[in-house]
Chain A
Amino acid sequence: MRILTIAAASLLAFATLPAYAEDKVDQAAVEAVYKDMFRNAKDVWAQRVVQDETQKVCSQYRNDLPQAEFNKVLAREKANVKMPADGNVMGDWKAGEKLAQSGFGGRFNDKPGTINGGNCYACHQLTKQEVSYGTLGPSLLEYGKVRNFDPKEAAATYAKIYNPQSVLPCSNMPRFGHHQFLSEQQIKDVVALLFAKDSPVNK
């Protein structure tokens, strides 16, 4: 039955695929064009154009990995999560809220020394008060409350923000800790925003 469904689905997909979709991509040509697009990028900026293994495989499979690749990414990304040395994952939720609001940092026109924001609201609903939120990620309303403010869940959330792909390979969410886009303290502050009892997320 399952095979039949797959066969039917692939037949349907094939029937609707336009002719141009059948040609194979010339990966070397893609790389050459890509390199040329950013040919004047220097130093750290040039580094950003170089994909790591996980970015490569997620691009190649358009975030939909075969099982073997999925397992490889999961193992690799799990291994690079660094939990806080002091064992505490909770920071200051008020600082976390500011980070969640900020989309600054990391862009070529940001002033040097700009503090990177987490920009959580761009993709997630977090509090009832903030109505300007995006829907690329799930709603995080009452995130800590529905997890009974469990410290183990808070630690798991720290790991997830540090590296979402340690939980879900090819997740759309940035690997904030892995890329050192957010600092340890900043991630703690966002965890507090999600898990503090007096945080507006849980009100």
Chain B
Amino acid sequence: MLTEKGGLALAAAALAFAITAQTPAFAQDQSEKEIERYRAMISDPFSNPGFLNVDRGEELWKKPRGKKNVSLETCDLGEGPGKVDGAYAKLPRFFKDTGKVMDLEQRLLHCMKTIQDLETKDIVKRKFSPSNRASNSDMEDLVGFIANKSNGMKISQPLSHPEEKKMFKIGEALFYKRSATNDFSCATCHGEPGKRIRLQGLPQLNKPGPDAQLTQATWPTYRVSQGQLRTVQHRIWDCYRQMRMPRVEYASDGVTALNVYLNKMAEGGELAVPSIKR
């Protein structure tokens, strides 16, 4: 037997149920709105721990290290020795001294070896800080610092040198290359507009436009779920993990080639890094 009060509560509950759980489509919209709200909430640069990496990166850039006990401040990132401003917006690019197209990580490792005579084996070993523990990656810090120095600038992928063109074509081919136990390629998830994996929206990355711009212009990013600043190297490494592929070698030419391709699709995207993401 229901009391009047109990009956009312039941009616109210039924009404609430009718409002909040009407249809799966409605619940779907609500979940997406909540995710949007969460994203907006964490997108506050003043509370973004990624800027701690930027500060540490600047220290590392200026700190004398290696057998030669010198800093990285004479390293040429493409804009001239020691010039950091705007360098990230134009990487990867061809470097005459190595005869290779290099991304930021490859170039930094090159400068550590040639300028500082620094043992990079240990640096590469600490390429990714462990999730949700103390940060220990020089590379995450340095990339955070240098990328941040291109903030507000537009991605402008150099493609005039034949080697840069070649790397673009290789990157494009890698994007469509299907393999392993699940037949996946980058294009499986990022080849069409407006798709989702579970509730996560998937950017289309094989077409020039806002999807690619927004993606490439927001890495490196502070990943809340991992409690670390993550770079494009980590993003691609993690994509291949999900694709059931073996570990991608850090700072390998394949990652650089993919980056040339992705940055060309993202041409004109305005860098805002480090960003903050789930």
B99 within 8 A of A: no
Among A38-46, A82-90, A143-151, A191-199, the stretch in contact with B: A38-46
Q: Are A51 and B249 neighbours in the complex by a CB distance under 8 Å?
A: no
Q: Are B174 and A121 neighbours in the complex by a CB distance under 8 Å?
A: no
Q: Are A48 and B244 neighbours in the complex by a CB distance under 8 Å?
A: yes
Q: How many residues of B contact A (CB 8 A)?
A: 49
Q: Are B31 and A33 neighbours in the complex by a CB distance under 8 Å?
A: no
A179: chain B residues within 8 A (beta carbon): 181-183
Q: Are B179 and A107 neighbours in the complex by a CB distance under 8 Å?
A: no
Q: How far is the CB of A62 from chain B (nearest CB, A)?
A: 5
B247 within 8 A of A: yes
Q: Considering only CB atoms, which chain B residue lies closest to A127 in the complex?
A: B24
A109 touching B197 in the complex, CB below 8 Å, given contacts A49-B179, A128-B24, A179-B182: no
A62 touching B176 in the complex, CB below 8 Å, given contacts A26-B169, A133-B198: yes
Majority-rule SS of A interface residues: loop
A108: chain B residues within 8 A (beta carbon): 241, 246-247
Q: Considering only CB atoms, which chain B residue lies closest to A107 in the complex?
A: B241
Q: How far is the CB of B131 from chain A (nearest CB, A)?
A: 11
The contact string, 1 if C-beta is below 8 Å from chain B, for chain A 113-128, is: 0000000011101001
CA distance A117 to B238 in the complex (A): 18
A175 within 8 A of B: yes
A181 within 8 A of B: yes
CA distance A40 to B246 in the complex (A): 9
Q: Considering only CB atoms, which chain A residue lies closest to B192 in the complex?
A: A136
A59 touching B185 in the complex, CB below 8 Å, given contacts A30-B174, A122-B198: yes
A33 touching B254 in the complex, CB below 8 Å, given contacts A55-B183, A136-B196: yes
CA distance A20 to B168 in the complex (A): 8
CA distance A59 to B172 in the complex (A): 11
Q: How far is the CB of A120 from chain B (nearest CB, A)?
A: 11
CA distance A21 to B264 in the complex (A): 11
Q: Are B170 and A51 neighbours in the complex by a CB distance under 8 Å?
A: no
A128: chain B residues within 8 A (beta carbon): 24
CA distance A42 to B169 in the complex (A): 28
B246: chain A residues within 8 A (beta carbon): 38, 40-41, 45-46, 48-49, 108
A175 touching B180 in the complex, CB below 8 Å, given contacts A48-B245, A123-B197, A134-B198: no
Q: How far is the CB of B88 from chain A (nearest CB, A)?
A: 21
CA distance A62 to B242 in the complex (A): 20
B253: chain A residues within 8 A (beta carbon): 33, 36-37
Q: Are B198 and A106 neighbours in the complex by a CB distance under 8 Å?
A: no
Q: Are A135 and B196 neighbours in the complex by a CB distance under 8 Å?
A: yes
Q: Are A37 and B178 neighbours in the complex by a CB distance under 8 Å?
A: no
In A131-184, the 8 Å CB interface with B consists of 131-136, 172-175, 179, 181
A131 touching B31 in the complex, CB below 8 Å, given contacts A38-B247, A172-B188: yes
CA distance A38 to B180 in the complex (A): 12
The contact string, 1 if C-beta is below 8 Å from chain B, for chain A 25-39, is: 111011001101111
A26 touching B248 in the complex, CB below 8 Å, given contacts A48-B180, A49-B180, A59-B178: no
Residues of A within 8 A of B (CB): 20, 23-27, 29-30, 33-34, 36-41, 45-46, 48-51, 55, 58-59, 62-63, 106-109, 121-123, 125, 128-129, 131-136, 172-175, 179, 181
Q: List 12 extra interface pairs beyond A25-B173, A128-B24, CB under 8 A.
A: A23-B165, A26-B169, A27-B173, A38-B248, A38-B249, A49-B179, A55-B183, A106-B182, A131-B28, A133-B198, A134-B198, A134-B200
Residues of B within 8 A of A (CB): 24, 27-28, 31, 159, 165-166, 168-170, 172-174, 176-185, 187-189, 192, 194-200, 202, 241-242, 244-249, 252-255, 257, 264
What are the 7 tightest A-B residue pairs by CB atom distance, in nearest-first order? A37-B254, A41-B246, A174-B182, A48-B180, A45-B246, A25-B169, A106-B244
